[in-house]
């Protein structure tokens, strides 16, 4: 049985993304995320989408007793088919496992805007969350 706990969406104007900040700030983007975005035709749209997904996840857990975390503890990865998924590291990953939480995400960008939605839900099984090494 699944119980939806939180659905959060974030929309970001792509033009508001500061190129210098996005390409060099280790606190916001992992090396995987930077490499992924830079390989795209419109890197700023991809950066904005990933930033939206991270912000939506942080917003989804904002009112819970989660461990301290930053954007560096949340990484947006992609499956072989291109579907985004959120991986967590450190105490945040452990906390989500203990809470039996699972995460789904969707990212979109078109024209001037990027958006992401995060679905945080409870599952009866431990181990449903994807953790990063």
The DSSP string of 111-131 is TTEEEEEEEEEE-SSTT-S-B
Q: For 39-119, where are the alpha helices, taking DSSP H only?
A: 43-60, 90-98
pLDDT at 19: 61
Which residues are 116's β-sheet partners?
10, 107
As a whole number of angstroms, the distance between CA 30 and CA 27 comes to 8
pTM for this entry: 0.84
As a whole number of angstroms, the distance between CA 99 and CA 3 comes to 12
As a whole number of angstroms, the distance between CA 12 and CA 128 comes to 29
More confident residue, 7 or 36: 36
What percent of the chain is predicted at pLDDT more than 90?
Answer: 38
Mapping DSSP to helix (H, G, I), strand (E, B) and coil, where does residue 3 land? Answer: strand
Superfamily name with CATH number, domain 3-122: 4'-phosphopantetheinyl transferase domain (3.90.470.20)
How many C-beta atoms lie closer than 10 Å to residue 96's C-beta?
A: 22
pLDDT at 124: 67
């Amino acid at each position: 049985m699944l119980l939806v706990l939180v659905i959060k969406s974030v929309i970001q104007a792509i033009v508001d993304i500061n190129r210098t900040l996005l390409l060099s700030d280790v606190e916001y983007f992992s090396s995987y995320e930077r490499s992924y975005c830079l390989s795209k035709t419109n890197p700023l749209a991809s950066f904005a989408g990933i930033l939206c997904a991270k912000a939506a996840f942080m917003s989804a857990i904002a009112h819970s007793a989660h461990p301290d975390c930053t954007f560096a503890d949340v990484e947006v990865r992609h499956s072989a088919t291109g579907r985004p998924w959120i991986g967590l590291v450190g105490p945040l990953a452990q906390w989500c496992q203990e809470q039996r939480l699972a995460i789904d995400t969707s990212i979109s960008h078109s024209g001037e805007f990027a958006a992401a939605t995060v679905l945080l839900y409870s599952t009866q099984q431990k181990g449903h969350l994807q953790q990063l090494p």
